Amino acid sequence: MQIKRIKILLCFLMVFFGWHTIEAQELNIVTTLPSLASITKSIGGEHVEVYSITRGVQDAHYIEAKPSYMVKLNRADLLIYSGLELEIGWLPLLIQGARNHDVTPGASGHLNASLAISTSNILEKPRGEVDRSMGDVHPAGNPHYLLNPYYGIKVAEQITDKLIELDPSHMDVYDSNFEQFRTELQKKITEFETEAAILKGIELVCYHVHWSYLLNWLDIKAAGYVELRPGIPPTPRHKKEITALMKRKNLKIVIISSWKDPTKAEEVADVAEAKLLILPGEVNAMPGADSYIEWLDYMVRNLVDVAIEVEPETTQRQRDRQREQKRGTK
Ligand SMILES: [Zn+2]
């Protein structure tokens, strides 16, 4: 009798703890960017634990390969990174130091998100040799593709496939989370495009080559850059040239990402009587940009607001044109 009771108790304990460990088993995921972390959380939901190495306030080009990041990677089932050499300065060191075969190149827990974007859609691929004199150019092309929400959908789809591969038992959850994410983002894209239609054809100046995918998507043109070359601050002469260009073309907006020192951009905007717009360079870079969709929302809303303020004629003209087009289609 005694033995039987112990057996029952043992069975109960095994079932309870066995069940418990399976339930608590989440995929441990490390991403390099908060935007990738946000998308991954949307798909993985409660079945993933996500840690982003960079915080939104940091410029992911320049991160120190800290041992604490290696510890995170050592315990990870999956590493998701931007690719296109964005993390070239630090990620290889972290992978090496992590001593975790699962996240090394070629292993199943190593996901280069840029592979979701077809090469022909990568912007600013340098022609010919790249050397230091050209500044901090992106040698494999511009890696900030998540600024275009259509690529956000592609990346989300790729992450969904990877989660299903690593954790097939939750396939239905991942699939339905993806559908929900895609539907929500697609709805927002339609709203963004309607709202931002008044920006079509506007020209502005950027501090740095960072925004190309956003500008391309919204049909806005960067007429010039405050930096002399990518990553290299302007000389007094370049500042004069860029302000002269702005005056000549009547450019009223300068944009800069939140992690850059705004001093030089401010000076240029002042002289040219233009408005400096600070935008979050990543998810979590500024309050109100707390998820991938909120980040996009923040950028579109602020661009529209500033354009209505400083480009009232152009935006009004676009509005009239849209109204006429609507009438035409009725
Ligand atoms: Zn960059």
Q: Residue 79 C-alpha to ligand 1 middle, in angstroms?
A: 20
pLDDT digits (tens, 9 = 90+) for 288-306: 999 999 999 999 999 999 9
Pair 272, 294: CB distance under 8 Å: no
Q: How far apart are CA 222 and CA 218, in angstroms?
A: 12
pLDDT given for residue 325 in this prediction: 84
Average model confidence (pLDDT) across the chain: 91
Q: Residue 235 C-alpha to ligand 1 middle, in angstroms?
A: 21
Q: How far apart are CA 103 and CA 88, in angstroms?
A: 16
Domains 22-118+134-192 and 196-329 fall in the same CATH topology? yes
pTM of the model: 0.89
18 vs 32, more confident: 32
Q: Which two tokens stand for residue 81?
A: 């990174």
pLDDT band (50, 70, 90) for residue 132: low
pLDDT given for residue 214 in this prediction: 97
pLDDT given for residue 323 in this prediction: 85
pLDDT digits (tens, 9 = 90+) for 231-256: 889 999 999 999 999 999 999 999 99
pLDDT given for residue 298 in this prediction: 98
For residue 9, pLDDT over 70 is answered with no
Query: 171-195 and 149-166 helices cross at what angle (nearest 10)?
Result: 180
Q: Residue 144 C-alpha to ligand 1 middle, in angstroms?
A: 6
pLDDT digits (tens, 9 = 90+) for 82-121: 999 999 999 999 999 999 999 999 999 999 999 999 999 9
Average pLDDT rounded to a whole number, residues 146-161:
98
For residue 7, pLDDT over 70 is answered with no
pLDDT given for residue 21 in this prediction: 45
| Domain 196-329 part of CATH 3.40.50.720 | no
Q: Residue 138 C-alpha to ligand 1 middle, in angstroms?
A: 7
Question: Which residue in 121, 103, 120 sits closest to 112, CA to CA?
Answer: 103
Domain spans in the chain, listed from the N-terminal domain onward = 22-118+134-192, 196-329
For residue 133, pLDDT over 90 is answered with no
For residue 16, pLDDT over 60 is answered with no
To the nearest 10°, report the CA torsion of 164, 167, 173, 176.
-10
285 vs 325, more confident: 285
Q: Residue 325 C-alpha to ligand 1 middle, in angstroms?
A: 37
What CATH class has 22-118+134-192? alpha beta
Percentage, residues of the chain above pLDDT 90: 76
Q: Residue 60 C-alpha to ligand 1 middle, in angstroms?
A: 8
Q: Residue 120 C-alpha to ligand 1 middle, in angstroms?
A: 18
CB atoms within 10 A of CB 307: 23
